C-alpha cells in the first residue's frame, strides 16, 4: 500500500506549496472510514482510493482533486456524511466528493431513456466542476486495471460501459493516454483472443525485423542533428485496440496494416515544430492526405500538434507527431491541464483550455434536446467525433466533427442561415448538401428567403446543434399544419353529428380532455393522438358514434344463434354488402370475415367452425370502420380538401396516421366510418378522381388475425 508520505512527496515534487497536512489528514480519514472493508481481490479497500489519488498526482493536479480522490467513496460506502467531510475538509472538497458519489450511482449503460437522463446528470456534474469527472475517470482506470478480481459477467458489463462511455469521454477531454489505456483494458476483457492475436503478431514482427522503433528513432535524431534542431524523439508501437480498430475500419489484415508505429518529437519552440516537419519530409516521403496542422487550428480541448505520416524504413508507414513541451503537457492532460501544477505554479500553460468555457460549449447543444433518443444521439456524436477545420468565404475558421456536411456548417454559423439554406459551394464548386467536408476546404452557403427546413435534412446533418435546430423547426411547422388539419377534421366530424365545431365548443372539449388550449386539442387531433369520437364525446356524450359493434351486431347479421355476439375481423374489415362468413371461437363468439379474406385459408381443415352469415339489409348502422392507404401530394391545403371531401360524402374520419413523409408526398393510413360497401366504393372513387391523390387502396392485413387453438 502506498504510504501517505510517499503520496505527499510525489505531489510536492511538482507543487512545493502543496498542503501536506491536508493530504495526510485526508489519507488518515479515508483509511479510518474504510477500516474493515476489502476489495474483491482481498486487499484492504483503501488501496483503491490511494491508487486513484496516485493516478491524479501523476497528472500534477491540485490538492483539492487529490483529497477528493482519497475520500471519493467515503460518503457512499462508509459512515461518513457530507456534513462531516465539509466540516473537516471544507465545502469545496465536500461538494466534489458528493459529485463523485452521484456519478458513481449513475447507471450509464442502462436502458436508453434512463441512460439519456443519466447522461444529462453527468454533464450537469461536469458543468459544476470538471474535477468531478477527472476523479471518476481515474477511479474507472484503476478499476479496469484490477478488473480480473470481478465476476466474469461484471467484467464484461464494466468493460462495455468503459468502452462506450468513459474512454470516449477521456479522449474528448484531451486525455488521449487515458483513453488508449481504458480502451485496451476493455478490449482485453471483451475480446481476449483478438488482443492476444495482435500481441503474437507483434512478437513475430519484432523477430523478423528487429527493433524497428529504435532504428527509426535513431534515424530521426540523425536528421534533426543535421538540421541543427534540438528535439526529443520518442517512438512507440500503437496499442492493440488501436490496431484492431484500424483493421476493422480498413478491412485489412495485420500484415497489410502499415501505420502501427507512432513517433513523437518534442521541440523547444513553435518555430522548431515546422523546421522538424521540413526535415522529416525532406528525408522521408510524406503520405498524401495524412497531414494535419493542429497548431494553427487547435482542437476545442486545447490540443495542438502537427501530425504527418511518412514512409519509413522498407516502405513501412509511421505516424509522426510534432509539438512543443507546453503543447505536450496539454496533450497528456487535456482539459485537466487547467488544474495542473508545475514548479508550484498552477495553470500557466497558455494552451490549457478554460474548462468552464469548454464544458459550456459542449453542453449547450444538448440542453435544447427534449427527446431522450435525440439527446443521447447528440452526446455520442460529440464524444466520438474527430474534427475537421474549414473556412468561411472571409477566411474565418469553423470546427466541425468528421463527416460534417454543408448543412452542419450553415447551422454552425447561425440557426437562421441553416434554416434558409438551399445549396452550398465547396472551394467555389456547387455541391449537394450531403457532401462530406474535408480539412482545409472553403464553404459558402447559399440561402433563399422563404426556405424552411426539410424533413430529409435530419438524415443529412451530423452535428447535434444542426439536428436539434432542424427538429425544433419541423415540430413548429408540423404543429401549425396539425392545427389546421385538426380544425378540418373537427369541422367535418361535428357536422356529421349535426353540430358546429365553434371555438367555445372546442375549448370546452379541451378542458374535458385536460388539454391546455383549443390549439393543443386541434394539434393532437391533427397528429392522430386523439380521435374525433373522443372530442365529440367530451362535449356531446349522447351524440358520439357508438364504437361497440356488438350493440348493433345482433340486429345487423343474420345467421347467429340467439345471444351470440360477433366482431368484425380486423384483417379484412368486412362491410354490409359484402359476402361474409363467420369463424367461431370458444368463449369469444364469432369473428366475421369477408368471403375473400386470405386469413380463411388457415381454417380450411376446421369446417365445424365455419358459419354461413349475411348482413341484414337496412338494419345496420353507419359505424363500420375501414382503413385506407392514401398517398397525397405534399402541397398546401391538400389534406384539408381530402378531409372535406370525405365529410361531404357523409363519411367520418375516426383516425389518421402519417406513415411516411417525403418532401413531395405523404402516405397516410386513414380510418373511415362507413355505412356499407357501396359507401366505401363512392368514397374511394371520389378520392381517386382528385388530382392531388396519387394512390388509394383498401388496407387489409392478414397478420392482424392469426388462427387460434381455441375452437
| C-alpha cell read off for 614 | 349475411
578 is catalytic: no
Distance, in Å, from the CA atom of 330 to the CA atom of 353, rounded to the nearest integer, reads 9
pLDDT of 593 above 50: yes
pLDDT of 514 above 90: no
| Most confident segment among 92-101, 398-407, 410-419, 587-596 | 410-419
The tens digit of pLDDT for each residue in 58-69 reads: 888 889 999 999
pLDDT of 445 above 90: yes
Residues 414 and 299 in one domain: no
Q: Report if residue 513 sits inside a domain.
A: yes
> 3-class SS at 85?
helix
Question: Picking from 4-13, 118-127, 180-189, which range would have the lowest pLDDT averaged per residue?
Answer: 118-127
Are the CB atoms for 671 and 654 separated by under 8 Å?
yes
Domain boundary among 493, 517, 538: 538
106 vs 688, residue with greater confidence? 688
Residues 215 and 148 in one domain: no
Are the CB atoms for 386 and 172 separated by under 8 Å?
no
pLDDT of 588 above 70: no
Distance, in Å, from the CA atom of 496 to the CA atom of 486, rounded to the nearest integer, reads 15
Residues 447 and 490 in one domain: no
Q: Report if residue 82 sits inside a domain.
A: yes
Average pLDDT over every residue of 341-345 = 64
Q: C-alpha angle 271/273/275, rounded to 5°?
A: 75
Q: How many CA atoms lie within 13 A of 317 on its CB side?
A: 14
Average pLDDT over every residue of 339-362 = 63
Residues of the chain with pLDDT > 90: what percent? Answer: 19
Q: Report if residue 495 sits inside a domain.
A: yes
pLDDT of 419 above 60: yes
Q: Report if residue 567 sits inside a domain.
A: yes
Residues 522 and 590 in one domain: no
Residues 15 and 149 in one domain: yes
Residues 6+ apart with CB under 8 A from 108: 115, 118, 119, 122, 161, 165
Query: Which of the residues 62, 77, 98, 223 is marked catalytic?
Result: 77
Helix (H) or strand (E) holding 562: none
pLDDT of 101 above 90: no
Are the CB atoms for 572 and 587 separated by under 8 Å?
no
Q: Report if residue 209 sits inside a domain.
A: yes
Domain boundary among 190, 208, 223: 190
Are the CB atoms for 72 and 111 separated by under 8 Å?
no
Could you write out the three-class secondary structure of 109-167? CCCHHHHHHHHHHHHHHHHHCCHHHHHHHHHHHHHHHCHHHCCHHHHHHHHHHHHHHHH
* Separation in Å, CA 686 to CA 430, 485, 644, 670, 679: 45, 20, 12, 15, 11
Strands (E), 197-305: 231-237, 261-267, 285-286, 292-293
pLDDT of residue 154: 87
- Read off the CATH number of the domain in which 452 is found: 3.10.20.30
Query: Which of the residues 6, 76, 329, 449 is marked catalytic?
Result: 76
The tens digit of pLDDT for each residue in 376-398 reads: 555 555 555 556 778 888 878 78
The pLDDT mean for the chain works out to: 80
Q: Report if residue 664 sits inside a domain.
A: no
Are the CB atoms for 697 and 669 separated by under 8 Å?
no
Which of the four pLDDT bands, split at 50, 70 and 90, describes residue 709? very low
Residues 257 and 204 in one domain: yes
The tens digit of pLDDT for each residue in 526-584 reads: 766 677 788 888 888 776 544 444 333 344 788 787 777 788 888 888 988 888 888 88
- The residue segments making up the domain with residue 569 are 549-615
> 3-class SS at 393?
coil
Q: Which residues pair with 582 in a beta bridge?
A: 592, 611
| C-alpha cell read off for 250 | 480498413
Residues 519 and 553 in one domain: no
Residues 493 and 570 in one domain: no
- Read off the CATH number of the domain in which 266 is found: 3.30.460.10
Residues 500 and 412 in one domain: no
Distance, in Å, from the CA atom of 361 to the CA atom of 300, rounded to the nearest integer, reads 9
Count of helix runs (H) and strand runs (E) in the chain: 29, 22
Are the CB atoms for 694 and 631 separated by under 8 Å?
yes
Residues 442 and 489 in one domain: no
Which of the four pLDDT bands, split at 50, 70 and 90, describes residue 49? very high
Strands (E), 312-404: 317-324, 341-342, 345-346, 387-391, 397-401
Q: Which residues pair with 388 in a beta bridge?
A: 400
Q: Is the pTM of this model over 0.75?
A: no
Average pLDDT over every residue of 170-195 = 87
Return the axis-axis angle of helices 464-496 and 372-384, rounded to nearest 10°. Answer: 160
Residues 184 and 201 in one domain: no
Total domains, the chain:
5
pLDDT of residue 323: 94
pLDDT of residue 251: 57
- Read off the CATH number of the domain in which 23 is found: 1.10.3210.10
Question: Picking from 71-80, 181-190, 283-292, 376-385, which range would have the lowest pLDDT averaged per residue?
Answer: 376-385
297 vs 264, residue with greater confidence? 264
pLDDT of 430 above 80: yes
pLDDT of residue 618: 57
287 vs 300, residue with greater confidence? 287
655 is catalytic: no
Distance, in Å, from the CA atom of 371 to the CA atom of 364, rounded to the nearest integer, reads 15
Distance, in Å, from the CA atom of 314 to the CA atom of 571, rounded to the nearest integer, reads 70
Q: Report if residue 630 sits inside a domain.
A: no
Domain boundary among 190, 224, 251: 190
Average pLDDT over every residue of 511-531 = 81
Question: Picking from 27-31, 299-303, 591-595, which range would have the lowest pLDDT averaged per residue?
Answer: 299-303
* Separation in Å, CA 135 to CA 50, 130, 143, 229: 12, 9, 12, 39
Are the CB atoms for 3 and 47 separated by under 8 Å?
no
Q: C-alpha angle 323/328/331, rounded to 5°?
A: 110
Residues 63 and 90 in one domain: yes
Please list the alpha-helical segments (H only) found in 414-456. Answer: 415-419
Average pLDDT over every residue of 116-137 = 72
Please list the alpha-helical segments (H only) found in 284-354. Answer: 325-333
The tens digit of pLDDT for each residue in 198-251 reads: 888 777 776 766 677 888 889 999 999 999 999 999 988 778 888 787 776 655
What's phi and psi for 374, nearest 5 deg?
-65, -45
The DSSP-derived string for 626-645 is EEEEEEEE--TTHHHHHHHH
Which of the four pLDDT bands, split at 50, 70 and 90, describes residue 622? low
Q: Report if residue 19 sits inside a domain.
A: yes
Amino acid at each position: 500500500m502506498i504510504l501517505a508520505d510517499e503520496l505527499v512527496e510525489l505531489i510536492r515534487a511538482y507543487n512545493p506549496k502543496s498542503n501536506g497536512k491536508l493530504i495526510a489528514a485526508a489519507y488518515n480519514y479515508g483509511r479510518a472510514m474504510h477500516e474493515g472493508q476489502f476489495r474483491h481481490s482481498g486487499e484492504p479497500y483503501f488501496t483503491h482510493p490511494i491508487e486513484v489519488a496516485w493516478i491524479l498526482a501523476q497528472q500534477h493536479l491540485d490538492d483539492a482533486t487529490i483529497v477528493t480522490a482519497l475520500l471519493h467513496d467515503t460518503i457512499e460506502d462508509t459512515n461518513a456524511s457530507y456534513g462531516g467531510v465539509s466540516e473537516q475538509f471544507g465545502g469545496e472538497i465536500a461538494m466534489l466528493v458528493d459529485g463523485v458519489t452521484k456519478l458513481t450511482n449513475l447507471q450509464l449503460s442502462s436502458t436508453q431513456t434512463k441512460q439519456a437522463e443519466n447522461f444529462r446528470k453527468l454533464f450537469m456534474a461536469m458543468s459544476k466542476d470538471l474535477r468531478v469527472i477527472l476523479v471518476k475517470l481515474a477511479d474507472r482506470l484503476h478499476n479496469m486495471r484490477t478488473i480480473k478480481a470481478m465476476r466474469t459477467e461484471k467484467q464484461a458489463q464494466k468493460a462495455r460501459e468503459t468502452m462506450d462511455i468513459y474512454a470516449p469521454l477521456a479522449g474528448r477531454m484531451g486525455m488521449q493516454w487515458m483513453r488508449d489505456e481504458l480502451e485496451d483494458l476493455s478490449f482485453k476483457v471483451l475480446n481476449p483472443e483478438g488482443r492476444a492475436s495482435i500481441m503474437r503478431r507483434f512478437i513475430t514482427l519484432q523477430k523478423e525485423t528487429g527493433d524497428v522503433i529504435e532504428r527509426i528513432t535513431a534515424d530521426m535524431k540523425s536528421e534533426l542533428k543535421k538540421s541543427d534542431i534540438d528535439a526529443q524523439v520518442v517512438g512507440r508501437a500503437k496499442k492493440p485496440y488501436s490496431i484492431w480498430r484500424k483493421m476493422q475500419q480498413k478491412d485489412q489484415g495485420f500484415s497489410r496494416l502499415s501505420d502501427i508505429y507512432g513517433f513523437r518529437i518534442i521541440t523547444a519552440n513553435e518555430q522548431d515544430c515546422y523546421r522538424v516537419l521540413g526535415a522529416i519530409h525532406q528525408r522521408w516521403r510524406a503520405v498524401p492526405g495524412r497531414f494535419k496542422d493542429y497548431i494553427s487550428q487547435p482542437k476545442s480541448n486545447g490540443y495542438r500538434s502537427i501530425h504527418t505520416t511518412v514512409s519509413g524504413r522498407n516502405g513501412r508507414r509511421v505516424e509522426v507527431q510534432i509539438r512543443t513541451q507546453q503543447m505536450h503537457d496539454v496533450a497528456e492532460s487535456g482539459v485537466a491541464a487547467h488544474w495542473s501544477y508545475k514548479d508550484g505554479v498552477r495553470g500557466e500553460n497558455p494552451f490549457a483550455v478554460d474548462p468552464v468555457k469548454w464544458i459550456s460549449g459542449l453542453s449547450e447543444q444538448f440542453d435544447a434536446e427534449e427527446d431522450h433518443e435525440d439527446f443521447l444521439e447528440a452526446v455520442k456524436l460529440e464524444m466520438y467525433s474527430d474534427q475537421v477545420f474549414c473556412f468561411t468565404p472571409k477566411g474565418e475558421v469553423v470546427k466541425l466533427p468528421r463527416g460534417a456536411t454543408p448543412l452542419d456548417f450553415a447551422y454552425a454559423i447561425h440557426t437562421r442561415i441553416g434554416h434558409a439554406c438551399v445549396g452550398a459551394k465547396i472551394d467555389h464548386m456547387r455541391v449537394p448538401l450531403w457532401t462530406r467536408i474535408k480539412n482545409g476546404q472553403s464553404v459558402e452557403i447559399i440561402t433563399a428567403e422563404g426556405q424552411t427546413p426539410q424533413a430529409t435534412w435530419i438524415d443529412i446533418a451530423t452535428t447535434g446543434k444542426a439536428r436539434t435546430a432542424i427538429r425544433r423547426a419541423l415540430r413548429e411547422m408540423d404543429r401549425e399544419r396539425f392545427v389546421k388539419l385538426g380544425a378540418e377534421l373537427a369541422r367535418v366530424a361535428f357536422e356529421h353529428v349535426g353540430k358546429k365545431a365553434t371555438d367555445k365548443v372546442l375549448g370546452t372539449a379541451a378542458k374535458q380532455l385536460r388539454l391546455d388550449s383549443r390549439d393543443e386539442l386541434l394539434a393532437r387531433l391533427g397528429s392522430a393522438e386523439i380521435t374525433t369520437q373522443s372530442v365529440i364525446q367530451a362535449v356531446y356524450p349522447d351524440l358520439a358514434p357508438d364504437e361497440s359493434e356488438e350493440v348493433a351486431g345482433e340486429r345487423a347479421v343474420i345467421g347467429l344463434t340467439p345471444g351470440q355476439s360477433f366482431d368484425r375481423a380486423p384483417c379484412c374489415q368486412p362491410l354490409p354488402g359484402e359476402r361474409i362468413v363467420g369463424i367461431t371461437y370458444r368463449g369469444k363468439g364469432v369473428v366475421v370475415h369477408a368471403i375473400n379474406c386470405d386469413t380463411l385459408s388457415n381454417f380450411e381443415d376446421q369446417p365445424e367452425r365455419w358459419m354461413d352469415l349475411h348482413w341484414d339489409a337496412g338494419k345496420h348502422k353507419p359505424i363500420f370502420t375501414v382503413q385506407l392507404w392514401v398517398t397525397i401530394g405534399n402541397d398546401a391545403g391538400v389534406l384539408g380538401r381530402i378531409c372535406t371531401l370525405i365529410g361531404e360524402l357523409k363519411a367520418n374520419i375516426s383516425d389518421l396516421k402519417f406513415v411516411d413523409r417525403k418532401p413531395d408526398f405523404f402516405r397516410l393510413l386513414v380510418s373511415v366510418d362507413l355505412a356499407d360497401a357501396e359507401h366505401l366504393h363512392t368514397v374511394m372513387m371520389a378520392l381517386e378522381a382528385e388530382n392531388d391523390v396519387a394512390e388509394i387502396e383498401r388496407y387489409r392485413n392478414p397478420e392482424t388475425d392469426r388462427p387460434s387453438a381455441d375452437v
